[in-house]
Structure 1
Amino acid sequence: MNTDGDSVTNSSKFAEFKDLTAEELKCKANEYFKRKEYEDAIELYSMAIEKDSNNAILYGNRSFAYLKTECFGYAFTDASRAIEIDKNYIKGYYRRAEAQMANGRFKQALKDFETVVKFCPNDRDAKIKCQECKKIVNQKAFEKAISVDTLKRSVAESIDFESMTIDDTYDGPKIVDGKITKEFVEELLDTFKEEKRLHRKYAYKLILDARELFSKSKTLVDIEIPKGKKFTVCGDIHGQFYDLLNIFKLNGYPSEDNPYLFNGDVVDRGSFSVECILVLFAFKILYPNHLFIARGNHESETMNKIFGFEGEVKEKYSKQMYDLFTEVFECLPLAHCLNKKILVMHGGLFSKDNIKLDDIRNFDRFRQPPEDGLMCDILWSDPMPAEGRQPSKRGVGCQFGPDITENFLKLNNLDYIIRSHEVKDNGYEVAHGGKCITVFSAPNYCDRMGNLGAFINFNGGDELIPKYTTFKEVPHPDKKPMCYSSNLFSMM
């Protein structure tokens, strides 16, 4: 499950298979793939490719396995290699379209889907995905056309909050005198636990108030943890609301004595993203200086369109509310610095040297993430064991080695970095000689990965020594991950 760097072939684990033919290795890899042991399947496909480097099917199969592990950059490269070997290998175009689509490159994905439909006109699945992809491309072109020379009006300014009426039959939590109280938040948690909805007027209130708070935040937020005081860092939640409740059960609710930092990717994938983000917004309003949320790569329009959050908000509330969430996500800080010693951000370090903390502080974050540069790297990059830098396995951002981490820390007088962004078997991973920590808080990610979740506790002081708590998934209502995504993204 740890997907740092390139696959290592011919490991001792598969030494017994080293004399098998490429075809035999492919069959073994297929067995691992069927059991959803994707990392092992990748390794065996790689061993087969070493024996037969001009076999399009091997690259196509490995591309599919990379898609399952969210290594979309590697998946694209393998699919392209398969097409290069055999221009008539239709699955290569299909896999490449999936990889392009996962990174929001819809125009490129559309070309490959059109190729699949041309060769397989009776493939109903391909036709549906091609049509859906074309709709998105046309929609984006239309939005771009009408935005020229037009001053974009804030969604928040267009909301007529006061005119929203509340039916007498509504029996959920209520905001009295415009103030979020502890009692309101506790009732909100119980309401969501029972799969009931918060009235849209109160949901809008939470989002608008959160927008006001985050818009005043710095791009890099400095947090001081007093000596002997507790502080908790959580990684990706990904819409797994019942696992979020379990974190609170294990570690306590956010409060002035129990502050939290949620390090991005609160939404998408899991089908209770609305519940997750509204609860965290409520705690943010209640404890503005003790609940922090960083932006992740999934707090963006492109990812929300692909991985379910947009569809979920539209289903549970409205398109207008989704557009308001988009505005709030553009206000979220990109990074947090704990006691001037630990930098916490969602993805990782940078594609170029000599980036200083002031570069982050001075960055204009109020936008959708670009495809390269400082903001892209913060949201998308990953560590790797090898020295130096490599192109990202995801196709966005970069991979950075222990020397890159060491140089960045020295330049900025930091002790280590904490990031999230990647599934880890144990919920966390310590890499780069203890200088790069990954924490991931969505156990059994997407109901299929079997990983533990984790969070990190600190006691404030001169030395912030991390203490890790790991936990398993808890039961949740029968809603599959990404159940609000369109047919186009069902393979993801």
Structure 2
Amino acid sequence: FQLGPRPMLQAVSSLIFGNEPSKMDIEVEKVLEAFIDVQDDIERSNKIKDRANDYFKNQHYDMAIELYTAAIDAAPSAVLYGNRSMAYLKKELYGSALNDADNALAIDNNYIKGYYRRATANMALGRFKKALKDYEIAKKHAPNDKDALAKFTECSKIVKRINFEKAIAGDDKKKSVVTTLNLNEMEVESSYDGPHLGDEITREFIDLMIEHFKTQKKIHRKYAFKILIEIRKWFMAQPTLVDISVPDGNKFTICGDVHGQFYDLVNIFDLNGAPSEKNPYLFNGDFVDRGSFSVETIFTMFAYKLLLPNHFFMSRGNHESDVMNKMYGFEGEVKNKYSAQMCELFTELFNYLPLCHLINQKVFVCHGGLFKQEGVTLDDIRKTDRVRQPPDEGIMCDLLWSDPYSLNGRAPSKRGVGCQFGPDVSEKWCKDNGVDYVVRSHEVKVEGWEEHHNGRVYTVFSAPNYCDQMGNKGAFITIKGDNLTPRFTSFSEVPHPTVPPMAYASSLFGFM
């Protein structure tokens, strides 16, 4: 009881449920034990905060969050809530970050970082007008702060652009970027030393393209646009839920988030074999953003999809969206390597990506997870209109954003969209829909994968040492057509050129 409510609850839970404490739980308790004899609540809170700051600086955000929580339990303050909000932002838990920013400002409405934290979380969730209000307040509080002015100015531009686009949209559907392109007019200069694309994608072209990418060179924009135009046609014809049939004895591989880590993507093919008719793959969303080789990653995947349309599959993730691409680097990277026009085409064709896949009628694969609403069926999913930017509610939102958690029932998502769903939800949904288990991605895991809900849900994440800082392994799942039991292969990161993650991200994510 001297340690405070968090270790006490962990101890009670262990006694009642027989739960083994995790390594992090043990580490948290060791930190807190060092301050048992500190009687003054504020002094104890400050000492715990200092240790939390150390973990934060070393990018151990989960530990930092636990310790900030313990410090808040001892003596809450605006700074503590602000610091924990920042840690939640690093974990992309925008709902929790918003709540903590609100708590910080409720304690001290002059706490400038609280407005920055709240604005950043709202930006990530596409709530630009709310973010703008907070940037404006921050600018007023710090009129001589150049960073405050820059963030306010950039956010203002985004809001004005959105308002302008709405004003000119009218009732007519916006014309496709494809209608503005004329590939015949795009000359391939004699100085171009990359692979040349003929009428169709060939394996030789893909192999040469990958080697070209490894040397940090681009394919010619004519060939890049040709790939995008062709892949758009393919995805336009796909359903929202794609059925996959894996014959008895045949292997099938499922990968999770890659996030622009091109060199790790290539390593997956080195470890598990290149995609082929005998070696099919499904990549489960979040192909781009954060990693600074997203262009190379997405063109490699699209090329394989064109080569092997019935043996290479791609599900949309929450990062295949306009808002995320603007914030987390993909738009900036495409503009840097190609053009704003190509950004528009990517935004358009990402809307056509399928939301989920069903393997042999038994394995359901989506990026996020299950549903806030009870009773959603496979047929409901099939009928869902996916050709749009992700909404804040509904089936499409949940498929892209939701997460499993350990308690029964449903709870609001720490991300600010989607929901958290418990073991009873997974059990019922799988039984009602005749599904053995759900494979999803969306979360970093230490070994690259994790089992949830007594085997009804599995997470797979395929970006090792995520953002060059998380220290996690990546993983992929293999199954057989006549044996759907998942097998997991974990792997470590491989070297890549010294371009840091988020190199092309919005300056609005220069956190304060």
Change (3 A) 1:310 1:347: same
SS at match of 1:466: strand
Name the CA distance, whole Å, in 2 between partners of 1:7 and 1:96.
Answer: 29
Change (3 A) 1:175 1:38: same
| Structure 1 residue 316 corresponds to structure 2 residue 337 | yes
Once the 2 structures are TM-superposed, how far is the Cα of residue 52 of structure 1 from its aligned partner?
1.9
Q: Which residue of 2 aligns with 1:468?
A: 488
Name the CA distance, whole Å, in 2 between partners of 1:467 and 1:12.
Answer: 30
**1:233–1:456: 8 Å Cα contact kept in structure 2?**
yes
Q: CA RMSD in A?
A: 1.6
Name the CA distance, whole Å, in 1 between partners of 2:92 and 2:449.
Answer: 18
Question: Which letter maps to 2:219?
Answer: L
Question: Which letter maps to 2:45?
Answer: A
Q: Which residue of 2 aligns with 1:447?
A: 468
Once the 2 structures are TM-superposed, how far is the Cα of residue 23 of structure 1 from its aligned partner?
2.0
Q: 2:252 aligns with which of 231, 247, 253?
A: 231
Q: Which residue of 1 aligns with 2:394?
A: 373
SS at match of 1:464: strand
Change (3 A) 1:490 1:58: closer
| Structure 1 residue 413 corresponds to structure 2 residue 434 | yes
Name the structure, 1 or 2, with higher relative contact order (CA <8 Å, separation 6+). Answer: 1
Range with bigger deviation, 294-303 or 318-327 = 318-327
Question: Which letter maps to 2:429?
Answer: F
SS at match of 1:289: coil
**1:23–1:48: 8 Å Cα contact kept in structure 2?**
yes
Name the CA distance, whole Å, in 1 between partners of 2:80 and 2:340.
Answer: 42
Task: Give unmatched runs, 5+ long, in structure 2.
Answer: 1-5, 11-24, 39-43
SS at match of 2:257: coil
Q: 2:503 aligns with which of 483, 487, 490?
A: 483
Once the 2 structures are TM-superposed, how far is the Cα of residue 69 of structure 1 from its aligned partner?
1.3
Q: Which residue of 2 aligns with 1:422?
A: 443
Q: Which residue of 1 aligns with 2:29?
A: 15
SS at match of 1:465: strand
Name the CA distance, whole Å, in 2 between partners of 1:143 and 1:286.
Answer: 36
Question: Which letter maps to 1:417?
Answer: V
Question: How do 1:114-263 residues align onto structure 2 when only pairs under 5 Å count?
Answer: 114-176=136-198, 178-263=199-284
SS at match of 1:336: strand
**1:175–1:202: 8 Å Cα contact kept in structure 2?**
yes
Change (3 A) 1:7 1:217: farther
Question: Which letter maps to 1:379?
Answer: L
Q: Which residue of 1 aligns with 2:313?
A: 292
Once the 2 structures are TM-superposed, how far is the Cα of residue 7 of structure 1 from its aligned partner?
11
**1:347–1:379: 8 Å Cα contact kept in structure 2?**
yes
**1:7–1:43: 8 Å Cα contact kept in structure 2?**
no
Name the CA distance, whole Å, in 2 between partners of 1:327 and 1:72.
Answer: 26
**2:403–2:413: 8 Å Cα contact kept in structure 1?**
yes
**1:382–1:392: 8 Å Cα contact kept in structure 2?**
yes
Question: Which letter maps to 1:121?
Answer: P
| Structure 1 residue 71 corresponds to structure 2 residue 85 | no
SS at match of 2:458: strand
Task: Give unmatched runs, 5+ long, in structure 1.
Answer: 1-5
Q: Which residue of 2 aligns with 1:86?
A: 108
Once the 2 structures are TM-superposed, how far is the Cα of residue 171 of structure 1 from its aligned partner?
2.1
**1:9–1:43: 8 Å Cα contact kept in structure 2?**
no
**1:97–1:110: 8 Å Cα contact kept in structure 2?**
yes
Q: 1:404 aligns with which of 401, 425, 438?
A: 425
**1:9–1:47: 8 Å Cα contact kept in structure 2?**
no
Name the CA distance, whole Å, in 1 between partners of 2:290 and 2:7.
Answer: 25
Provide the TM-score with structure 2 as the length reference.
0.92
Once the 2 structures are TM-superposed, how far is the Cα of residue 320 of structure 1 from its aligned partner?
1.2
Q: Which residue of 2 aligns with 1:3?
A: none
Once the 2 structures are TM-superposed, how far is the Cα of residue 468 of structure 1 from its aligned partner?
0.6
Q: 1:35 aligns with which of 44, 53, 58?
A: 58
Name the CA distance, whole Å, in 2 between partners of 1:223 and 1:100.
Answer: 37
**2:120–2:508: 8 Å Cα contact kept in structure 1?**
no
Question: Which letter maps to 1:443?
Answer: P
Name the CA distance, whole Å, in 2 between partners of 1:293 and 1:312.
Answer: 21
Change (3 A) 1:9 1:34: farther
Q: Which residue of 2 aligns with 1:326?
A: 347
Name the CA distance, whole Å, in 2 between partners of 1:303 and 1:35.
Answer: 26
